[in-house]
Amino acid sequence: MDGRVALVTGANKGIGFATAQALLKLGMIVYVGSRDVERGRIAVDTLSSDGTAHLALLDMADENSMLATLAAIDAAHGRLDVLVNNAGIALDGASAVDAVPDVIRRTLDTNVHAPARLIQLAAPLLRKSSAGRVVNVSSGVGSLAFIADPHTPSMGKIYAYSLSKVALNGVTTLFADALRADRIKVNSASPGVVKTDLSHQMGRRLPTEGAEIIVRLATLDDDGPTGGFFDAAGPIAW
């Protein structure tokens, strides 16, 4: 993995930070996506002991910041080998009946439309890689089989968040098909319930544990899968 170039969004903390750290330890050059300058700098300073880390001021609500980040990567390396769409939000726990339209819109914009747009913009650089990999960080609640099960607890059926992860899995399958001829592999990863700010520290898994499946999919061999949905144990039912 030495010299491969990776961009990880939302990497200043939590699963994104752990993913960036793991990729650095494998020898990759990692661009640490953060919309907050100070938090991003602190993360990069910490990560630099593990390898070559660069701050990428990246706000998923701002396409110009995506373009600026990709332009910097292009100027420095001429390609992008790994894109990890990790940044995401979970704003409330409302059910389908009670979900607020503005919360639904903001969640879908951040968790679905923004990562899809970033893949579109990054595609020219990914095509220049000999082993382009895209990992969309999804969730177990992105499985229709899971949320359709009447025995699934209500916390697994938070409307805006669950819908966004179902849709993100759709993004994965469509981009995997569109980029198959370019030998770019696109997969969804479910890290599990991880102890992070997004889960309100309720998870039992550590960020390093959640990052394992993401790193595995980011470093797939040429004969690895594309267009799939995986957790640490293997494929997940759509």
Active site residues: 161, 165
Let me know: does 138 contact 188? Beta carbons within 8 Å.
yes
Computed on alpha carbons and rounded to an integer, the radius of gyration of the chain in Å comes to 17
CA distance 175 to 226: 10
For residue 65 the two structure tokens come to 């910041």
In contact, 191 and 211? CB cutoff 8 Å: yes
Give the C-alpha distances (Å, rounded to integers) separating 34 from 9, 120, 131, 172, 227.
Answer: 7, 20, 25, 23, 27
Q: In the structure encoding, which two tokens stand for residue 51, read together?
A: 């390898």
- Length of the chain as a residue count: 238
